């Protein structure tokens, strides 16, 4: 699978150039260049919008002391879509537009969630609530006994910071 990804990335510039030549012969070279500039400018605008949105959400979360409520996946899709739109080419612009458009993101979010769920089931990992007994306690961890795949048994434990060194006189 990684070899296919590498081959696809190596073939992408050739496919982009072939498509640019085809579009240029259909609508003319000046219009093709102008369209590529417009797509790149749209990508920069999408990136700016995603960046300011992410900054505002992070700033509001830090001011209130709560975790960010905005969808991290939506912001990530906007940023990747903006980058792909900014890269000159029609194939990357098409994928970038699909990632950046607001009416396609819910479908992509659903597809990603179902892929991640299948991947987790395939790995055989059981996901439980994190740190059920000592949640949010700094320097302390407690958890139920469970079997970690490939690593043996994990037992309940507790870690606490001690201000003094062991064996030091009191």
Instruction: Give whole-number Cα distances, 146 to 18, 120, 151, in Å.
Output: 55, 17, 11
94-121 pLDDT, tens digit each? 999 999 888 888 888 888 888 878 887 8
Three-state secondary structure call for residue 94: helix
Instruction: Give whole-number Cα distances, 65 to 44, 58, 61, 93, in Å.
Output: 31, 10, 6, 38
Three-state secondary structure call for residue 80: helix
Q: 29-38, 48-57, 142-151: which has the highest mean pLDDT?
A: 29-38
The better pLDDT of the pair 106, 20 is held by 20
Residue 137: which pLDDT band, with cuts at 50, 70 and 90? very low
Contact 68, 58 (CB under 8 A): yes
Domain spans in the chain, listed from the N-terminal domain onward: 9-128
75-86 pLDDT, tens digit each? 888 889 999 999
Q: Report the share of the chain in percent with pLDDT over 70.
A: 74
Q: Which residues pair with 152 in a beta bridge?
A: 148
What local confidence, expressed as pLDDT, does residue 136 receive?
A: 43
Q: Which residues pair with 153 in a beta bridge?
A: 147
pLDDT at 138 over 80: no
| pTM of the complete model beyond 0.75 | no
The better pLDDT of the pair 81, 140 is held by 81
Instruction: Give whole-number Cα distances, 56 to 52, 83, 89, 167, in Å.
Output: 6, 20, 31, 50
């Amino acid at each position: 699978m990684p070899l296919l990804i590498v081959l696809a990335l190596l073939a992408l510039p050739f496919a982009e150039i072939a498509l640019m030549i085809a579009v240029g012969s259909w609508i003319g070279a000046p219009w093709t260049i102008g369209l590529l500039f417009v797509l790149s400018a749209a990508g920069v605008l999408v990136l700016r919008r995603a960046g300011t949105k992410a900054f505002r959400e992070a700033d509001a979360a830090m001011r209130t002391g709560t975790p960010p409520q905005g969808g991290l996946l939506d912001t990530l899709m906007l940023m990747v879509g903006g980058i792909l739109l900014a890269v000159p080419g029609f194939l990357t612009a098409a994928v970038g537009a699909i990632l950046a458009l607001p009416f396609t993101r819910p479908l992509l979010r659903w597809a990603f969630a179902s892929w991640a769920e299948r991947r987790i089931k395939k790995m055989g990992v059981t996901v439980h609530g994190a740190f059920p007994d000592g949640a949010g306690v700094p320097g302390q961890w407690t958890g139920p006994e469970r079997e970690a795949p490939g690593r043996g048994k994990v037992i309940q434990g507790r870690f606490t910071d001690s201000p003094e060194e062991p064996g030091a006189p009191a």
